[in-house]
Structure 1
Amino acid sequence: MHPHLLGRGGAEVRAEALARTLDAPLYAGFGAREHIDEDVEVRLAFEDSSLRRLCTSKIVRDFAGIVGWPAVAELRTFDVLVFSNEGATWYPPGVDQAVVRYQGSLDQAAYSRNDDFAGVKHRLMSALKRLTLPSTSAYPDVWVTPSTWTAREMERYLGVRADYICPPPIDVDAFNPRPLDEREGYYLTMSRLVDQKHVDEVIAAVEEVGARLVVAGEGPARERLEAQASDRVEFVGWVDGAEKRELLEDASGFLFAGRGEAFGIVTAEAMAAGTPVLAVASGHTQHQIPRECGIIVERGCLADAIRRYELDGIEGSAAEIHAHARALFDQTRFEQTIREAVDLACERAQLSRATLATSPASASEHQQRQSRASSDNH
């Protein structure tokens, strides 16, 4: 279960991988099936909602999730539910359903970046989510998260600890990394073109050093970013598949300035292509990129990172960067971990049902026996 399918980013790649691993349908609220590969069955729970025409508003999507997911009756027919992020967790699972929650970054408007969202409506909705979202943390039997960063977010804001840290999978074998001295001489950034990705900082950095930049992605900030850029910067729109891999494999370096990334699927893909990552120290990105794979700098210093890279390079070769990605983001490792998480959730759900089946009197007698055993041991 995934909040919405309004584009294809790291969260959608992760939700798709979960459905494929478990051979299960992918439920989402609003959105379009085209954002998920055809081999995964997509069911849009809010497809007939009267709010559909307003779903471009985050406030509308949040409200629709809170009131809409509990009404999706067919979810009761499943033995196991896997929530992808918090947006779909407003559905209250049955007592006899096993629940896994794969939690990426929590809603940044409600938590770590609440100060970035102005307006009374956003502030009120964020306050409502902070008051109500923690109540859904009682539902999962097992928690999974893609990084230590999101594990810390969960502990800080929801008071729960991750059972598994499981990075999303990447088809590392699909990439054919070229030696760095045979690249095309441009830098690449790739993401949704929205404010929190800070693509404007990337553009400013390459303009400062006089480098070439290719910007891949679409979003509401594109027009503003194009107005900022000189002819050194080329916008190529949304890319995927072979075109995406080719851009990553030919780039001299990958630039990234996003804030508070839960994992960073595109930086992982850059490493799979053997491409050094030059990034701002924020979110999980600062922990994801070792010295042999790139350079991490404080915000505002991305131009300095480019200069350092062009002068001294990095410790690792393209082949070594590729090998690092293989070790961390292998698909088999992801599939094994998710299946293990589901098995554990089923085991814990069985234990919960057994506990519920125990009468109050029997439970009391069991506690008394435990107390006597403890006393005897002392």
Structure 2
Amino acid sequence: MRICLVASNRFAIREPFAGGLESMTATLARGLAERGHEVTLFAGPGSQVHPEVRLSPLAVVEVSAAAMADRFAPGPEWVADHHAYLALMLSLARTGAEQFDVVHNNSLHHLPVSMAPALAVPVLTTLHTPPLPLLESALALSPDASRFVAVSEWTAAAWRHVVASDVVLNGLDLAAWSPGPGGGPAVWSGRLVAEKAPHLAIDACRAAGVPLVLAGPVQDVDYVEREVVPRLGGEVTYAGHLTGAALARLLQEASVAVVTPAWDEPYGLVAAEAMACGTPVAAFARGGLAQVVSPDSGVLVPPGDVAALAAAVVRAARLDRRAVRAHAEATCGADAMVEGYLARYAELGQRVDAA
């Protein structure tokens, strides 16, 4: 098949990944290319995935100072996003059917959804987040122009008041995230932002008397300076923004992975990565984590309850690492994700042929 993958125009699809959406897109692109499909990726500059994946350049624009001086002008990032996605969708409206069999939208932008009716090629959109206002607005105007997939049952339910969706769980390369012996410190990984609340992981691990290593990109400097930096020191360290291989090594040695969402986690790829390494999870039970983490692979506690999380850190570390890995193999593999999307692409192609 000829597949156009649409991702974020702000973040490169390359190691170390900016977040779970970028990691999932890279895994999907690689899996599709390895199966012999022709993949074109629309993503941020500097993207680097499988050598057989073709990268689509972003359209850029320089808006005049006079235009940006308008008191109601949006910020330059908003303008850049709008221009890049508008250019892509206009191009696909003109020649998309000549180039592609399916467009798979993994972005969070509203234009790929709102402009889907203008395309002669079918569009599949993956819902990676809880409902967003501009996406709901786009869906109100074109509810049937795209088919939708959610990354977990929770995410599908969160969007059900707007649109129905299938569920294809995110997946990862289980060979790259291989099991390790454990026994080391606890690990918290992910984007260092307020909605991921790494400061609560620090508080819980200090209460439990368990050393903690943080890893991930600093994407909210004010939050990190206010809540995380003052808590560092002693047995709490920050390892930086790691590549997948480096993070896998850290998780292989970890006794437990701590996941502390202060929002409804749509899936929880960091939990899947830990479990693939045989490392059990101690987490707040928010969003899709209840589907990703099983009683054999982790301990879930009420959101925001730091005392309960401290106890969960100790309990989870006692779980059988072989059972944790087995759960990951059964539920978190990339092969199942890639095959799930290929099945949806084929169904969309059949609908077009029938029409």
Q: What is the SS of the residue equivalent to 1:25?
A: strand
For residues 328 and 190 of structure 1, what CA distance do their matches in structure 2 show?
Answer: 20
- Structure 1 residues 19 and 239 mapped into 2: Cα distance closer, same or farther (>3 Å)? same
2:156 corresponds to which residue?
A: 151
Asked if residue 96 in structure 1 is aligned to residue 120 in structure 2, the reply is: yes
1:50 corresponds to which residue?
A: 62
Shift of 1:155: 1.1
> Deviations 1:141-161 (Å, cap 9, x if unpaired)?
x322221011112212x2x22
1:15 corresponds to which residue?
A: 25
Within the candidate set 129, 140, 149, 1:105 is matched to: 129
- Structure 1 residues 205 and 35 mapped into 2: Cα distance closer, same or farther (>3 Å)? farther
Asked if residue 340 in structure 1 is aligned to residue 339 in structure 2, the reply is: no
For residues 41 and 260 of structure 2, what CA distance do their matches in structure 1 show?
Answer: 31
> Deviations 1:304-350 (Å, cap 9, x if unpaired)?
3333542x556741111101101112222222211111110011122
For residues 83 and 349 of structure 2, what CA distance do their matches in structure 1 show?
Answer: 29
1:4 corresponds to which residue?
A: 9
Q: What is the SS of the residue equivalent to 1:81?
A: strand
Instruction: Trace 1:30-109 onto structure 2 (pairs within 5 A).
Output: 31-34=44-47, 36=49, 40-46=53-59, 48-50=60-62, 59-60=78-79, 63-64=82-83, 67-73=86-92, 75=96, 77=98, 78-87=100-109, 88-94=112-118, 96-106=120-130, 108=132
For residues 51 and 202 of structure 2, what CA distance do their matches in structure 1 show?
Answer: 35
1:147 and 1:263 in contact (8 A); partners too: yes
2:290 corresponds to which residue?
A: 286
For residues 176 and 96 of structure 1, what CA distance do their matches in structure 2 show?
Answer: 42
Shift of 1:248: 0.7
Within the candidate set 40, 60, 82, 1:25 is matched to: 40
Please tell me the residue identity of whatever aligns with 1:14: M
For residues 343 and 249 of structure 1, what CA distance do their matches in structure 2 show?
Answer: 37
1:8 and 1:35 in contact (8 A); partners too: no
- Structure 1 residues 90 and 231 mapped into 2: Cα distance closer, same or farther (>3 Å)? farther
Q: Provide runs of 4+ in structure 1 moved above 6 Å.
A: 54-58
Shift of 1:99: 2.1
Instruction: Trace 1:229-268 onto structure 2 (pairs within 5 A).
Output: 229-258=232-261, 259-268=263-272
- Structure 1 residues 135 and 17 mapped into 2: Cα distance closer, same or farther (>3 Å)? farther
Please tell me the residue identity of whatever aligns with 1:44: P
For residues 339 and 96 of structure 2, what CA distance do their matches in structure 1 show?
Answer: 25
Specify which structure has the higher proportion of helix.
1
For residues 66 and 332 of structure 1, what CA distance do their matches in structure 2 show?
Answer: 29
Please tell me the residue identity of whatever aligns with 1:188: V
**TM (normalized to structure 1)?**
0.75
**TM (normalized to structure 2)?**
0.80
Please tell me the residue identity of whatever aligns with 2:289: T
Q: Tell me how large the CA RMSD over aligned residues is.
A: 2.8
For residues 129 and 341 of structure 1, what CA distance do their matches in structure 2 show?
Answer: 21
Shift of 1:36: 4.4
1:16 and 1:40 in contact (8 A); partners too: no
1:278 and 1:295 in contact (8 A); partners too: yes
Instruction: Trace 1:105-184 onto structure 2 (pairs within 5 A).
Output: 105-106=129-130, 108=132, 110=133, 130-140=136-146, 142-156=147-161, 158=162, 160-162=163-165, 164-180=166-182, 183-184=183-184
Please tell me the residue identity of whatever aligns with 2:151: P
Q: Quick check: which has more Rg, 1 or 2? A: 1
For residues 233 and 292 of structure 1, what CA distance do their matches in structure 2 show?
Answer: 27
For residues 101 and 150 of structure 1, what CA distance do their matches in structure 2 show?
Answer: 13
Please tell me the residue identity of whatever aligns with 1:50: E
Please tell me the residue identity of whatever aligns with 1:161: A
Shift of 1:129: 5.1
For residues 129 and 5 of structure 1, what CA distance do their matches in structure 2 show?
Answer: 18
For residues 234 and 134 of structure 1, what CA distance do their matches in structure 2 show?
Answer: 46
Asked if residue 299 in structure 1 is aligned to residue 303 in structure 2, the reply is: yes
Shift of 1:94: 4.4
- Structure 1 residues 67 and 313 mapped into 2: Cα distance closer, same or farther (>3 Å)? closer
> Deviations 1:113-151 (Å, cap 9, x if unpaired)?
xxxxxxxxxxxxxxx5543343243211x3222210111
Asked if residue 328 in structure 1 is aligned to residue 331 in structure 2, the reply is: yes
- Structure 1 residues 280 and 308 mapped into 2: Cα distance closer, same or farther (>3 Å)? closer
- Structure 1 residues 303 and 179 mapped into 2: Cα distance closer, same or farther (>3 Å)? farther
1:226 corresponds to which residue?
A: 229
Shift of 1:35: 6.2
For residues 64 and 326 of structure 1, what CA distance do their matches in structure 2 show?
Answer: 41
1:293 and 1:314 in contact (8 A); partners too: no
- How many residue pairs align between the two structures? 321
For residues 230 and 51 of structure 2, what CA distance do their matches in structure 1 show?
Answer: 36
1:274 and 1:321 in contact (8 A); partners too: yes
Greater CA deviation, 213-222 or 78-87? 78-87
1:365 corresponds to which residue?
A: none
- Structure 1 residues 76 and 308 mapped into 2: Cα distance closer, same or farther (>3 Å)? closer
